[in-house]
Structure 1
Amino acid sequence: MNRRTFIGLAGASTATVATAGCLSAGLGSTGSQSEDVTLDDVENLNVETTDRNTIQVQGIGRVAAEPNSVTLSASIEAHDRDDASTVVEELATRSEQLIEDLTAYGIPEDSITTARYSLGEHSRRNRYEGEHRFSIEVDDPDNAGEVIDVAAGSEADQIGRVNFTVTGDKRDELYDEAVKRAVADAREEAELYAGAADVSLGDPVSIETTQRGVSPHAMSLSMTAGDAVGSAPPTELEQGQVSVSARATIEYGFDAGNGES
């Protein structure tokens, strides 16, 4: 596991001057920030400095779980039509029928959304074609196969990508657990470095969650309507597991054993 680790030794000041012109405090009556900053200038600022030993580490936490939601795509297509209006009318009529059949099965209408709509003229044949692609969200992953069969038995010409994921409270619970694991992982890493450096690890100075991610279990299907109707057996899908991850960056104080902390 790759991590970035930073160790700061005693004497780190809360005020840092890196290059000339970067100091915002007034250094003279002119108020210019473009003048060179000298050591006397810094000393005259009377800035209170804090000497502190710190070590910064990153930890990663991951949690895998069964999905509680699935999203799939279903497309209606029209090819080789005489004019654009014919394509638009056909897509509208067939889309209405698809939505009606899906809602009759039990999919809420607001869970059926347009993912893509295209209309164009074939450049070589002076013919028109179009596509209306829907994204269908299914609350129960066990029903994904049946939804595919309903769509294919209705008006869908193509069934495409299927994503199993986690949503709502379950997603939040998994993320909370991933954060806990990330923090524990960072602590373990800090203890490793502190032990190797022969110093005593102290309390956290700062904790920041720097990354959050959900990796759904995705399936790429290339199924036409004829593949899922007629004498074909019901569609069954392997759900797999969904991974939820978190990354935490933590800065710890440590005692170098020389009277400084």
Structure 2
Amino acid sequence: MQRDTLSILIVTASLLAMALVGAAVVSPIGADDPASDADRTITVDASGGADTEPDRGVVSTAAVAEGDDPAAVRDELNERADALRTNLEAAGLTDDDYETTEYRINEPRRPPREEGTDEPDYRGTHSFTVDLDDPDRIGTVIDAAADADAEVGDIEFTLSETVRDELREDAIDNAMGDARVQADSIADNGALQVTGVAHVDATQRSFSTVSYEVAATPAPEDDAATDVDTGDVSVTYDVEVTYNATAN
């Protein structure tokens, strides 16, 4: 049986901000004379990022049915949903790997001028979210859904909580490293010496998954399985660091 394959368009790219030029402020502490040997502070804005391959994948898929009788649409929708579940289980998934996210049967609202068209009166949707601990299995899930005549929606590559925490710490390390490089450079140019950290604001952060928009295209003649290439997932941290400094 020939199945739909999927053309993939990367919608969201990884954010890579390993070193941004920061704004810097040098100010005296407790001194009226800027030329005195009183302590100073140096404040810099810095950014650090870290990225890695995703270790989780999420696929949205849905069984759909249309018709003029809501009861018939309901029955067909249940059959299609059962077929989708059967295919997912045949692909090695269990009940723990997917869950229902939406079930609805709608009567489309059409302007009066469109009444009497051949469009069905009712459309039913039973949506599932499949959560995988192996992103390489996403292609298998897509094929299982296509074989059940189900729709495939969003595809997202992301990170487990453990890996995300590790990546966040790497991003913070990179941001703080960038901040210190900036502070040392400013101190050298201002005849100052950095003596330590006075204050850190690290509340600005972002987490960028890799998402895809999926469109159905004719399947190749060899009926090859769907293959989805993954991109890196990234975490970015912005920090504002104030350093203590003294005059040389």
Aligned to 1:113: 99
Q: How far apart are 1:116 and its partner, in Å?
A: 4.0
Alignment of 1:9-158 (within 5 A): 9-11=28-30, 53-79=40-66, 81-124=67-110, 125=115, 127-156=121-150, 158=151
1:172 aligned residue (160, 165, 184): 165
The structure that is strand-richer by fraction is: 2
| Cα distance in 1 between the residues matched to 2:175 and 2:87 | 45
What residue is the counterpart of 1:30 in the other structure? none
1:173 deviation in Å? 1.5
State the match for 1:232 in structure 2. Answer: 223
**Hey, what's the Cα distance between the residues in 2 that align with 1:244 and 1:110?**
28
CA deviation digits over 1:41-69, x for unaligned, max 9? xxxxxxxxxx9632222222212211111
Structure 2 letter corresponding to 1:185: D
* CA gap 1:210/1:110 in 2 versus in 1, 3 angstroms: same
Of 174, 185, 195 in structure 2, the residue corresponding to residue 192 of structure 1 is: 185
- Return closer, same or farther for 1:57/1:89 CA change in 2, 3 Å cut-off: farther
Residue of 235, 242, 246 corresponding to 1:244: 235
1:161-184 Cα offsets, whole Å, 9 max, x none, are 221122132222222111111110
Cα offset, 1:234, TM superposition: 0.8
Return the alpha-carbon distance in structure 2 between the equivalents of residues 4 and 78 of structure 1: 57
What displacement does 1:114 show? Answer: 3.3
Relative distance call for 1:230 and 1:130 in structure 2 (3 A) is farther
CA distance in 1, matches of 2:219, 2:95: 23
Which residue number corresponds to residue 253 of structure 1? 244
Partner Cα distance (2:97, 2:51) in 1: 25
Aligned in 2, Cα 1:76/1:60: closer, same or farther, shift over 3 Å? same
CA contact (8 A) 2:39 2:246 kept: no
Letter in structure 2 aligned against 1:62: G
* CA positional deviation for 1:222: 1.4
CA contact (8 A) 1:62 1:178 kept: yes
Of stretches 51-60 and 204-213 in structure 1, the one that deviates more from structure 2 is 51-60
Q: Is the 8 A contact 1:228 1:234 kept in 2?
A: no
* Preserved CA contact (<8 Å) 1:62 1:246: yes
Give yes or no for contact 1:99–1:112 (8 Å, CA) kept in 2: no
- Distance in structure 2 (CA, Å) of the matches to 1:179 and 1:223: 40
Distance 1:231 1:154 in 2: 19
Residues 72-103 of structure 1, C-alpha deviation per residue, up to 9 Å, x if partnerless?
Answer: 12122222x22334333332332233123213
Aligned to 1:26: none
Which residue in the other structure is 1:3 paired with?
22
Residues 1:154 and 1:8: Cα distance change in structure 2 (over 3 Å) = same
Partner Cα distance (2:45, 2:74) in 1:
54
TM-score normalised to the size of structure 2?
0.75
Preserved CA contact (<8 Å) 1:57 1:190? yes
Give the whole-Å Cα distance in 1 for the aligned partners of 2:229 and 2:246. 52
Backbone CA RMSD of aligned residues: 2.7
Partner SS, residue 240 of structure 1: coil
Q: What secondary structure sits across from 1:235 in the alignment? A: coil
C-alpha distance in structure 1 between counterparts of 2:221 and 2:85, whole Å: 21
Contact 2:159 2:233 in 1 (8 A): yes
Query: Which structure ranks higher in relative contact order (CA pairs < 8 Å, sequence separation ≥ 6)?
Result: 2
Match of 1:23 in 2: none
Query: What are the ranges of 5 or more consecutive residues in structure 2 without an aligned counterpart?
Result: 1-19, 32-37
Report which of the two structures shows the higher radius of gyration computed on alpha carbons. Answer: 1
